[in-house]
């Protein structure tokens, strides 16, 4: 019995020391992954500079970027689940109710590579879309101990004491492109935060990341809907989407 106890004790001490304090999030690394700086400088920022009137509704395709795992200690790859795609479509559903779009669908095309905007737009054209919303995201985890972690060396505390916190940040972007022209809207950015508190044994970083992703998707869909409404009500100039 002594050897298992010694191993378990060593494990709890290692868990306690391995995530001693909050390190925060490396936002700079996250924005580099998403190319937010360059994206924010592009796009047709003033719709009134376009030549023709915007004539909704449009058929909108949504393409989710699938990144490789980031080469950074605190960053996490955001996996797009079926539930995530459905959540975003539901968040955009009011555009159809307002007759700003005729249809919204997920664009699934394995031939399109990350960062190939031209290829994504061409794929959208093949599926009959007027515009493509390109959605991207990356996440980060900050795992650390709180004041209850001093109970971990008691062994039972590793299972019962709420001494570990897993904080997650997900940054998501949505970039709307016309399919039949080079028109691009200003990129929308949204964030989602989540923190899970519990014992070192049971707190899962993946759960915190999923919850943060859900918050980011909700915020991003709200931003996209508001952007659509702003264009239609304030500008007579977005027919390049058609």
The reported pLDDT for the residue numbered 151 is 76
Residue ranges covered by each domain of the chain: 2-241
Q: Mean pLDDT per segment of 10 residues, for the chain of length 242 residues?
A: 45 50 89 75 46 66 88 87 97 94 91 82 93 96 87 76 91 94 91 93 93 98 92 54 49
Q: Are 11 and 200 in contact (CB under 8 A)?
A: no
Q: Are 240 and 178 in contact (CB under 8 A)?
A: yes
3-state SS, residue 68: coil
The reported pLDDT for the residue numbered 47 is 45
First to last CA, the chain: 74
| pTM, to two decimals | 0.83
The reported pLDDT for the residue numbered 232 is 67
The reported pLDDT for the residue numbered 134 is 96
Q: Alpha-carbon distance 168 to 14, whole Å?
A: 22
The reported pLDDT for the residue numbered 211 is 98
Question: Both tokens of residue 14?
Answer: 């290692």
H or E stretch covering 140: strand 131-145
The reported pLDDT for the residue numbered 109 is 77
């Amino acid at each position: 019995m002594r050897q298992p106890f010694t191993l378990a004790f060593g494990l709890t001490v290692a868990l306690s020391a391995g995530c001693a304090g909050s390190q925060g999030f490396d936002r700079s690394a996250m924005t580099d992954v998403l190319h937010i700086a360059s994206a924010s400088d592009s796009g047709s920022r003033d719709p009134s500079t376009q030549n023709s009137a915007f004539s909704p509704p449009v058929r909108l395709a949504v393409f989710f970027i699938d990144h490789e795992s980031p080469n950074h200690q605190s960053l996490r790859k955001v996996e797009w689940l079926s539930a995530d795609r459905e959540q975003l479509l539901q968040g955009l559903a009011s555009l159809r109710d307002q007759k700003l779009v005729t249809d919204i669908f997920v664009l699934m095309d394995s031939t399109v590579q990350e960062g190939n905007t031209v290829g994504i737009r061409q794929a959208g054209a093949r599926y009959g879309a007027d515009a493509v919303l390109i959605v991207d995201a990356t996440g980060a985890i900050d795992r650390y101990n709180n004041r209850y972690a001093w109970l971990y060396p008691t062994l039972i505390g590793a299972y019962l004491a709420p001494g570990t916190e897993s904080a997650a940040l997900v940054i998501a972007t949505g970039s709307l492109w016309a399919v039949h022209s080079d028109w691009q809207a200003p990129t929308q950015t949204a964030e989602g935060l989540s923190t899970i508190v519990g014992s070192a044994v049971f707190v899962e970083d993946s759960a915190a990341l999923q919850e943060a992703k859900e918050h980011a998707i909700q915020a991003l869909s709200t931003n996209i809907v508001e952007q659509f409404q702003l264009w239609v009500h304030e500008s007579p100039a977005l027919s390049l989407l058609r």
